[in-house]
Amino acid sequence: MSLFADLTWRGLVNQTTADEHLPQWLNSGSRTVYCGFDPTSDSLHVGSLLPVMLLRRFQKAGHRPIALVGGATGMVGDPTGKTDERKLLDADSLRTNVAGIRSQLERFIDFGDGKSTSGAMLVNNFDWMGGISYLEFLRDVGKHFPVNIMLAKDSVKGRLERDSGISYTEFSYMLLQAYDFVVLKRRHGCDLQIGGSDQWGNITAGIDLARRMDSVQLYGMTCPLLLKSDGTKMGKSEKGAVYLDAAKTSPYAFYQYWINLADADAGMALRFLTELAHEEIEALDAQRIAEAHKRDSQKRLAEELTRLVHGEAGLAAARKATEIFFGAEIENLSDSELTEIFADVPNKQLSPSILAGEGLPLIDALVESGLCKSKGDARRVVDQGGAYVNNRRQNGVDTKLTTAQLASETVMVLRSGKKNYALLRFV
Output the 3-class SS for 251-263.
Answer: HHHHHHHHHCCCH
Is 426 a residue whose pLDDT tops 90? yes
φ and ψ at 356, to 5 degrees?
Answer: -75, 165
Q: Report how many helices (DSSP H) and strands (DSSP E) the chain contains, helices first.
A: 18, 15
What is the Cα Rg of the chain in Å?
Answer: 27
Helix residue spans in 326-374 (DSSP H): 335-341, 362-369
Within-domain flag for 367: yes
Whether 195 and 311 share a structural domain: no
Q: What is the CATH number of the domain that holds 346?
A: 3.10.290.10
Chain segment 188-216, per-residue pLDDT in tens: 999 999 999 999 989 999 999 999 999 99
Within-domain flag for 261: yes
Kindly report the number of other CB atoms within 10 A of residue 7's CB atom.
Answer: 22
| pLDDT score, position 207 | 96
Crossing angle between the packed helical segments 200-214 and 173-188, to the nearest 10 degrees = 60
CA geometry: angle at 200 spanning 152 and 63, to 5°?
A: 150
Q: What's the pLDDT band for 81 if we cut at 50, 70, 90?
A: low
Q: What is the DSSP string of 72-131?
A: TGGGT---TT-SSPPPPPPHHHHHHHHHHHHHHHTTTS--TTSS-SSS-EEEETHHHHTT
**CA quadruple 325, 330, 334, 339: dihedral sign:** positive
384 assigned to a ligand binding site: no
Within-domain flag for 270: yes
φ and ψ at 16, to 5 degrees?
Answer: -135, 160
Within-domain flag for 7: yes
Domain stop point among 263, 291, 326? 326
420's enclosing H/E stretch is strand 420-426
Contacts with 283 (C-beta within 8 Å, 6 or more apart), sequence order: none
Helix residue spans in 260-347 (DSSP H): 263-273, 278-290, 296-325, 335-341
CA distance 289 to 65: 37
Whether 188 and 293 share a structural domain: no
| pLDDT score, position 78 | 62
pTM equals 0.84
Chain segment 285-299, per-residue pLDDT in tens: 999 999 999 999 999
Whether 271 and 304 share a structural domain: yes
| pLDDT score, position 311 | 95
Whether 382 and 271 share a structural domain: no
Contacts with 427 (C-beta within 8 Å, 6 or more apart), sequence order: 349, 352, 410
Is 79 a residue whose pLDDT tops 70? no
Q: What is the DSSP string of 181-224?
A: HHHHHHHH---EEEEEGGGHHHHHHHHHHHHHHH----EEEEE-
Q: Are strands 420-426 and 347-350 parallel, antiparallel or unpaired?
A: parallel
Chain segment 207-255, per-residue pLDDT in tens: 999 999 999 999 999 999 999 999 999 988 767 899 999 989 989 989 9
CA distance 153 to 150: 6
Is 86 a residue whose pLDDT tops 60? no
Within-domain flag for 334: no
* Residue whose C-alpha is closest to residue 67's, from 184, 226, 187: 184
Contact 349, 339 (CB under 8 A): no
Q: Average pLDDT over the chain, rounded to whole?
A: 90
Q: What is the DSSP string of 14-25?
A: -EES-TTTHHHH
CA distance 289 to 90: 50
Domain stop point among 299, 326, 353? 326
Greater pLDDT, 67 or 85: 67
3-state secondary structure of 328: coil
Percent of the chain with pLDDT over 90: 67
Q: What's the pLDDT band for 97 if we cut at 50, 70, 90?
A: confident
Whether 79 and 140 share a structural domain: yes
**CA quadruple 227, 232, 237, 241: dihedral sign:** positive
Domain stop point among 198, 223, 248? 223
Percentages of the chain per state (helix, strand, coil), in multiples of 5:
50, 15, 35
Q: What is the CATH number of the domain that holds 161?
A: 3.40.50.620
Whether 57 and 148 share a structural domain: yes
Mean pLDDT of 393-403: 93
Whether 140 and 276 share a structural domain: no
Within-domain flag for 290: yes
Within-domain flag for 252: yes
Domain count, the chain: 3
Within-domain flag for 333: no
| pLDDT score, position 158 | 73
Q: Which domain holds residue 187?
A: 3-223
Is 133 a residue whose pLDDT tops 70? yes
Whether 108 and 178 share a structural domain: yes
Greater pLDDT, 85 or 214: 214
End-to-end CA distance of the chain: 60
* Residue whose C-alpha is closest to residue 354's, from 425, 407, 297: 425
Q: What's the pLDDT band for 114 if we cut at 50, 70, 90?
A: low
217 assigned to a ligand binding site: no
Whether 103 and 205 share a structural domain: yes
Q: What is the CATH number of the domain that holds 300?
A: 1.10.240.10
Whether 389 and 306 share a structural domain: no
330: left (phi > 0), else alpha (psi -120 to 50), else beta? beta
CA geometry: angle at 123 spanning 117 and 129, to 5°?
A: 130
219 assigned to a ligand binding site: no
**CA quadruple 72, 74, 79, 85: dihedral sign:** negative
| pLDDT score, position 80 | 60
CA distance 54 to 394: 52
236 assigned to a ligand binding site: yes
CA distance 70 to 123: 8
Whether 102 and 215 share a structural domain: yes
Is 411 a residue whose pLDDT tops 90? yes
Q: What's the pLDDT band for 337 if we cut at 50, 70, 90?
A: confident
Whether 204 and 160 share a structural domain: yes
Q: What's the pLDDT band for 77 if we cut at 50, 70, 90?
A: low
Contacts with 46 (C-beta within 8 Å, 6 or more apart), sequence order: 226, 234, 235, 241, 242, 243, 244, 257
